[in-house]
A and B are shown apart, each in its own frame.
Chain A
């Protein structure tokens, strides 16, 4: 029963997507074109995120670590 209601909910979400982007009104070949374009864009965005986001996060982390690292040394010298 849960699977069925989940499937219904997903189908309803797909219908909302169709209505909002007007693919409900398109002929089948137009829909194919539209979905191909969208899914291609989506895959490219996800792939870019997969490749670049960890590198960017670690660079940002290192930058902030350096910043706090310097501060720590300064305070230590002042106290001394």
Chain B
């Protein structure tokens, strides 16, 4: 694939390189440009990047309104003051201290618990803790049952009232294709395998834990992805954190996206390679890092890097954005580096037949060196896989920590994955899989469009099934979770430290199991709660995302 040529006069305005707008135009975050004509029209990137994109790439991150940012800081300031007051009272025993402390005899020793670091946990998280760790007591499908809890001491301890809240519309589970079911073909197949093989494997893959079911699964996964070979592991997080150290080591370079998941970050740090971060989804930043790496080599000795590995994700679950895969692949080929693509949220959820972000962009799976993904989200099971060339997978079978030390996948789980994957591919003889993929795409478009029309600030790409709705203020995090539960909708709210401190959000995960009535009901409730809590911050200055102009002084380098 040829490298992206600078496109001239794409918009009929002055010529811009690579679709960038100059900084003189007052570009905002992520390439927002003020004052473009007709802000609600799509600007196709087809012309901008030399024909790399076959379809329009609509990603938007509306800027935080200034008043909202100021008020959010005010809210955090008030909470900090009260946090200091409460800590003072706890220190001087005016109030009972309910978090972990050492025993009396150990008070003179080196402190075991870092008091100040948990300031945020003690003084903010505890106040809104009832929105997390909610116990559910049914299968997490489109509707879920939840056990009701109350707290009499402001969320330090909970008690169950004994009542079960039934039929809560579940907008928080990663159930993209609706395979989290306790009835149907997947469940029957898994039950049969359970009665045949039992639940435990009692060994690792390398010893006695390599079942014929695992071999069957791996052949199926390789066929599904369009790669030569694949290997499956018992835990998605462990797939990343245990396999990246097997692939790279000291003397290698890892270029990792700013907003990568904790498993990728952990794996990169464990490997001992040098890590450099590029700005989220920003190809100019990545290209600059690649150029510098090739030109300057390793820091002191100037030797060339042994390997350069680019770590990206298919769909970023906190932002709802999709990676610019055509450009990443073009860069990777130009600078001869390797690509590790983590498709945890995009496998099954993107692409016309659910094969992930590679199919979504119409690219060749052989261009991605290591395709990683998880079975947790779209297949209703647990575990992860890595797909790629046969030599790579054979190497990983011997050298990966997961293969040597971790217990292999449990047989009923493997059967669930096999059945659901065959369903998606259409090999079970029905069109159920295809219908689900299409239903998810429709639900995504409908839900996002309706929320934007209502006036909420929604981040991310038009086609991603993860929908973050911005809340910003700390009190609204707790209020949103509680108000939605009162109206029988279960949502996941996220705050610091998973997101930047003022950008707290509610994250909806759409599912093929959601019918239009359920979505309409959810939208009605979100509308109501949005008016009640005044969450409709959007000023409709939605400008389609252009390639952002690269500012030479803003990228950072971290050497580990």
Residues of A within 8 A of B (CB): 12, 15-16, 18-27, 30, 34
Contact = CB atoms under 8 A, between A and B. Distances in A.
A12 B528 CA distance: 13
A20 B79 CA distance: 11
A25 B478 contact: yes
Interface in B363-382: none
B520 to A, nearest CB: 25
B79 A22 contact: yes
Of listed B76, B154, B474, B475, residue having the most chain A CB within 10 A: B475
Grouping DSSP codes into helix (H, G, I), strand (E, B) and loop, the A interface class, with mixed when no group exceeds half, is helix
Of listed B74, B82, B476, B479, residue having the most chain A CB within 10 A: B82
Interface in B451-483: 473-476, 478-479
Given A22-B474, A25-B474, A16 B78 contact: no
B128 interface: yes
Given A16-B534, A27-B154, A21 B78 contact: yes
B475 A22 contact: yes
Contact of A21 (B75, B479, B532): B75
Nearest to A20: B71
Given A26-B82, A27-B154, A34-B78, A19 B127 contact: no
B521 interface: no
Nearest to A18: B475
Contacts of B82: 26, 30, 34
B473 A19 contact: yes
Query: B interface, how many residues as a size bin?
Result: 20 to 34
Nearest to A30: B82
A22 B75 contact: yes
Nearest to B86: A30
Interface string B277-317: 00000000000000000000000000000000000000000
13 contacts: A18-B475, A19-B475, A19-B533, A19-B534, A20-B74, A20-B75, A20-B473, A21-B74, A21-B475, A22-B75, A22-B473, A23-B78, A26-B127
Nearest to B531: A12
Of listed A16, A18, A25, residue having the most chain B CB within 10 A: A25
A24 to B, nearest CB: 4
Contact of A25 (B71, B85, B475): B475
Contacts of B76: 22
Nearest to B476: A19
A23 B534 CA distance: 16
Nearest to B154: A27
B475 A20 contact: yes
Given A20-B75, A22-B76, A22-B79, 14 more contacts: A19-B475, A19-B479, A20-B475, A21-B74, A21-B75, A22-B475, A24-B478, A24-B479, A25-B79, A25-B124, A25-B127, A25-B474, A26-B82, A30-B85
A16 B530 CA distance: 12
Contacts of B478: 24-25
A31 to B, nearest CB: 10
A22 B479 CA distance: 10
Nearest to A16: B534
A21 B82 CA distance: 12
Contacts of A16: 534
A12 B128 CA distance: 21
A34 B77 CA distance: 13
